[in-house]
């Protein structure tokens, strides 16, 4: 009996300990996670950061890290190795989990962490060639001595931090998801750049266009999806002369008869990921010195995609934001120059239909010959399950992403290969290394020649009062409409025959108008000698240009206002016609539709948080487009709606087109653009009434509330429902889940003055008071003055940390 009691008690204890040491479903191992000595409690930081005055590390010479009040590290090193070593160390100490998670995601290794539910995601990453291209990129920068040294020092710094970690000090998310950081490698840094490349260039619409053109015919397609919108105001001002085509390309045939494809298109760049940047010459500023501004719009996340840092060594003193996982500063300034980036949005991804000889997929047809494929076996490790092996066949047109074994639905047997500039080896690291040290325009121009993907608009200003912008990247030289639709991969003319010579990439220096700007619009007007294809913005950029043209005696303050400008040019252009159409219908006084109409008539086209007008407009527009496109709602393949500018023209010129017939209305009365407009008003009125009666705030700030989401989508670690103004078509492009991820204003001069803010905090630890330290300031459109230190001026440092060599 006593033995039984003992055995019973022992078993219960043993099982409980065992269970509490094990990850069950999404639950962390409870005992490990909650115990106060090693568990999550150890990630709860005191309000005052604990920064030791001295740190022994593997640096060559004594160095110093000074933290300012906002915990921005200012690294003072004596040589290149120590500089990048310390950048790696400091970044990892604040953002290690994020750095590794993003690179795991890029590499298609999420299943290793969360198990089999991530296999489709991982397969997609592998099949589009993320790991393949990162491996290629490593091969290239390892042949470049300088890049190799930087990478090695940075990697060494990160690993110094990783090796110092214990069960107790490992970042919180590792404890929660129950895994451990592995050693950093240059492959991981390379993967991070591919992560950015995918985020910013997956904007091709080959599938959608092919499906659409089959449905409505080429004539209507051209009308609804034109290459240029009326009034396009390109980045390179109209009238700038271009050299003629300098490479030979044989024109092929536009492949519009291709079959509709029911393949689920892969993860795409959000249409409202974009950015603004501009630089104004001293002739337009109050100080007589140029001012440069940049606000990249990305999916807002926690920890923030950006980490602020200043890097100082004998040959460099640069301040700005870095991407955790990549050495150097990506957007920033030094004593002499400032630069910023926006996405070029040029199409650099094309899809080809591949004809395999047989099921072995060893050979494919090209130019009437059978060419060999290369098989690459992707090994996807899965937590708690067997490893998943996926074979991807590579052609000279890229990896065959879709084939029988992946994402096939129904009887679809199309094989589709992806050609993408991210696949070719490149060394973007060199660009940032050189930009960080640039002294003048020539340095900037030289730095850009190394940059390939993702294509960016690099805006530039210097203390000698030069301003410039280059659209830089590796862009295919296309014949007209090449790559707009899925292409036949067996036809020789369809392949990329040449790349636009770097010197012919769109650029302009010191234009007459006294400013340069970009906001993801067309880079060039119709006189550019190469066919120009992409997904371009049409409103923010013109608002910026209108404002900058009008403004004189520009100061940092007026730039803050412009970056946070909530004016909706799309509404200014589209709303009058909508209202006119609505008024042609009989509207009863006091009816809901009349109330909406009145509200919109009084509205000034700004998307301020406290207004109801923008809510009504947004609801109306969404509903109207839904009504117009209801014909296509239940199609089994992906389609895309036309741009508001094309819609406006269509409403104006073809108000009786059959697209305006509302399919879901039971009475089947023939409708047109005019009474469909009324239907949408009626619906909007009901919707707003519903918001009011259900006590959901109809004010725009609540309707457009943005959540800055934790990277692992854990609501408790996210900043939820931030009420703020802004709109996707306004300069302040807050469009959940995307928004301005870093706002920066730099005034150059004898000494640069700069301001900035991002919706996050320097610490990546949800248990730190610095995790979301800047979010509320960002939401209020306020800025911090950035502390630019040098050897003589370190007064604004709050914590000083001496770095002592171990040897």
| Site of interaction with other proteins (CB under 8 A) | 2-3, 5-6, 9-10, 12-13, 16-17, 20-21, 30-32, 34-47, 172, 714-717, 766-769
Whole-number Å distance between alpha carbons of 401 and 419: 10
Q: Which residues contact 695 (CB under 8 A, 6 or more apart)?
A: none
Residue 778: CB minimum distance to other proteins, A: 19
Nearer to other proteins, 47 or 53 (CB): 47
Residue 483: CB minimum distance to other proteins, A: 46
The length of the chain is 807
Nearer to other proteins, 32 or 622 (CB): 32
Residue 34: CB minimum distance to other proteins, A: 5
Q: Of all helices (H) and strands (E), which one includes residue 803?
A: strand 797-805
Nearer to other proteins, 122 or 709 (CB): 709
Whole-number Å distance between alpha carbons of 567 and 705: 17
Q: Is 54 helix (H, G, I), strand (E, B) or coil?
A: strand
Whether the Cβ atoms of residue 83 and residue 316 lie closer than 8 Å to each other: yes
> 3-state secondary structure string, 521-582?
CCCCCCCCCCCCCECCCCCHHHHHHHHHHHCCCECHHHHHHHHCCCECHHHHHHHHHHHHHH
Characterize 274-291 residue by residue with b for buried, 16 or more Cβ atoms within 10 angstroms of its Cβ, and e for exposed: bbbbbbbbbebbeeebbb
Nearest Cα neighbor of 453 from 403, 505, 410 is 505
Nearer to other proteins, 12 or 692 (CB): 12
Residue 25: CB minimum distance to other proteins, A: 13
* DSSP assignments along 584-634, one per residue: TS---TT-HHHHHHHHHHH--SB--TT-SHHHHHHHHHHHHHHHHTGGGTT
Nearer to other proteins, 172 or 202 (CB): 172
Residue 96: CB minimum distance to other proteins, A: 17
**Residue 477 CB coordination number (10 Å):** 20
Residue 353: CB minimum distance to other proteins, A: 47
* DSSP assignments along 277-300, one per residue: EEEE-GGGBSSSS-EEEEEEEEE-
Nearer to other proteins, 5 or 666 (CB): 5
Residue 33: CB minimum distance to other proteins, A: 9
Nearer to other proteins, 457 or 765 (CB): 765
Nearer to other proteins, 475 or 717 (CB): 717
Nearer to other proteins, 3 or 806 (CB): 3
Cα angle: 661, vertex 667, 671; to 5 degrees: 25
Residue 692: CB minimum distance to other proteins, A: 29
Nearer to other proteins, 16 or 804 (CB): 16
Nearer to other proteins, 6 or 370 (CB): 6
Which residue has 């769109």 as its token pair?
A: 506
Residue 799: CB minimum distance to other proteins, A: 18
**Residue 26 CB coordination number (10 Å):** 10
Residue 384: CB minimum distance to other proteins, A: 21
DSSP code, position 469: E
Nearer to other proteins, 25 or 410 (CB): 25
Nearer to other proteins, 45 or 142 (CB): 45
Whether the Cβ atoms of residue 234 and residue 303 lie closer than 8 Å to each other: no
- What residues does 802 pair with on adjacent strands? 54, 64
Residue 9: CB minimum distance to other proteins, A: 4
Residue 20: CB minimum distance to other proteins, A: 7
**Residue 549 CB coordination number (10 Å):** 12
Whether the Cβ atoms of residue 686 and residue 618 lie closer than 8 Å to each other: no
Nearest Cα neighbor of 791 from 124, 18, 64, 152 is 64
Nearest Cα neighbor of 806 from 150, 4, 160 is 160
Residue 171: CB minimum distance to other proteins, A: 12
* DSSP 3-state percent helix, strand, coil across the chain (nearest 5): 35, 20, 45
């Amino acid at each position: 009996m006593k033995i039984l009691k003992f055995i019973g008690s022992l078993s219960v204890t043993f099982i409980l300990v065992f269970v509490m040491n094990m990850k069950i479903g999404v639950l962390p191992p409870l005992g490990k996670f909650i115990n106060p000595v090693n568990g999550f409690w150890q990630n709860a930081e005191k309000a005052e950061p604990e920064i030791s005055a001295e740190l022994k590390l593997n640096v060559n010479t004594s160095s110093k890290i000074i933290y300012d009040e906002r915990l921005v590290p200012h690294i003072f090193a004596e040589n290149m190795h120590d500089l990048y070593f310390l950048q790696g160390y400091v970044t990892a100490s604040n953002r290690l989990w994020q750095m590794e998670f993003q690179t795991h995601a890029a590499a298609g290794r999420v299943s290793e962490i969360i198990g089999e539910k991530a296999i489709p995601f991982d397969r997609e990453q592998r099949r589009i060639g993320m790991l393949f291209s990162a491996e290629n990129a490593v091969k290239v920068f390892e042949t470049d001595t300088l890049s190799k040294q930087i990478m090695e020092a940075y990697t060494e710094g990160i690993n110094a931090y990783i090796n110092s970690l214990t069960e107790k000090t490992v970042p919180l998310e590792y404890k929660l998801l129950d895994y451990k950081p592995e050693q950093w490698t240059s492959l991981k840094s390379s993967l991070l750049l591919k992560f950015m490349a995918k985020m910013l260039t997956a904007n091709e619409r080959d599938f959608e266009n092919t499906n659409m053109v089959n449905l409505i015919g080429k004539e209507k397609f051209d009308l609804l999806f034109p290459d240029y919108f009326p009034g396009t105001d390109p980045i390179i001002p109209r009238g700038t002369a271009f050299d003629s085509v300098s490479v030979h390309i044989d024109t092929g045939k536009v492949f519009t008869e291709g079959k509709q494809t029911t393949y689920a298109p892969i993860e795409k760049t959000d249409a409202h990921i974009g950015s603004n940047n501009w630089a104004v010459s001293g002739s337009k500023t109050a100080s007589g010195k140029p001012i440069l501004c940049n606000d990249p719009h990305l999916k807002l996340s926690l920890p923030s995609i950006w980490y602020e840092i200043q890097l100082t060594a004998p040959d460099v003193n640069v301040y700005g934001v870095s991407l955790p996982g990549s050495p150097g500063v990506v957007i920033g300034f030094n004593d002499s120059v400032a630069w910023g980036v926006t996405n070029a949005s040029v199409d650099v991804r094309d899809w080809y239909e591949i004809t395999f000889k047989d099921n072995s997929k060893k050979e494919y047809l090209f130019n009437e010959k059978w060419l060999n494929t290369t098989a690459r076996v992707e090994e996807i490790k899965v937590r708690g399950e067997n490893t998943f092996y996926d074979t991807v066949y590579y052609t000279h047109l890229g990896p065959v992403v879709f084939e029988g074994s992946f994402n096939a639905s129904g009887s679809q047997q199309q094989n589709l290969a992806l050609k993408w500039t991210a696949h070719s080896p490149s060394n973007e690291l060199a660009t940032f290394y050189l930009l960080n040290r640039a002294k003048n325009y020539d340095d900037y121009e030289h730095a850009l020649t190394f940059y390939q993907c993702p294509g960016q608009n690099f805006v530039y200003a210097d203390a000698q009062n030069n301003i410039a912008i280059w659209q830089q990247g590796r862009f295919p030289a296309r014949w007209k409409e090449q790559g707009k639709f899925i292409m036949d991969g067996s036809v020789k003319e369809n392949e990329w025959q040449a790349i636009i010579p770097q010197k012919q990439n769109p650029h302009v220096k010191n234009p007459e108008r006294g400013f340069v700007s970009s906001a993801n619009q067309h880079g060039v007007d119709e006189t550019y000698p190469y066919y120009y294809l992409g997904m371009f913005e049409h409103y923010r950029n013109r608002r910026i240009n209108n404002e900058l043209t009008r403004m004189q005696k520009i100061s940092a303050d007026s730039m803050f206002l412009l970056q946070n400008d909530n004016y909706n040019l799309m509404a200014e252009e589209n709303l009058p016609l909508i209202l006119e159409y609505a008024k042609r219908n009989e509207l009863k006084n006091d009816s809901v539709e009349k109330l909406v109409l009145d509200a919109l008539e009084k509205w000034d086209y700004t998307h301020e948080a406290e207004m109801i007008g923008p809510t009504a407009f947004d609801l109306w527009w969404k509903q109207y487009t839904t009504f117009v496109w209801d014909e296509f709602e239940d199609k089994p393949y992906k389609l895309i709606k036309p741009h508001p500018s094309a819609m406006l023209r269509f409403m104006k010129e073809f108000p009786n087109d059959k697209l305006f017939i509302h399919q879901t209305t039971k009475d089947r009365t023939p409708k047109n653009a005019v009474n469909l407009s009324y239907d949408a008003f009626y619906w909007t009125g009901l919707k707003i009434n519903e918001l009011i009666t259900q006590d959901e705030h109809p004010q725009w700030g609540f309707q457009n509330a943005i959540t800055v989401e934790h990277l692992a989508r854990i609501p408790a670690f996210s900043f939820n429902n931030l009420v703020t103004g802004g709109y996707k078509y306004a300069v302040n492009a807050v469009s959940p889940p995307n928004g301005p991820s870093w706002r920066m204003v730099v005034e150059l001069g004898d000494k640069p003055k700069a301001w900035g803010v991002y919706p996050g905090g320097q610490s990546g630890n949800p248990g730190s008071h610095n995790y979301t330290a800047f979010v509320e300031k960002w939401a209020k459109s306020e800025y911090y003055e950035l502390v630019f230190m040098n050897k003589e001026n370190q007064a604004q440092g709050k914590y000083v940390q001496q770095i002592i060599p171990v040897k």
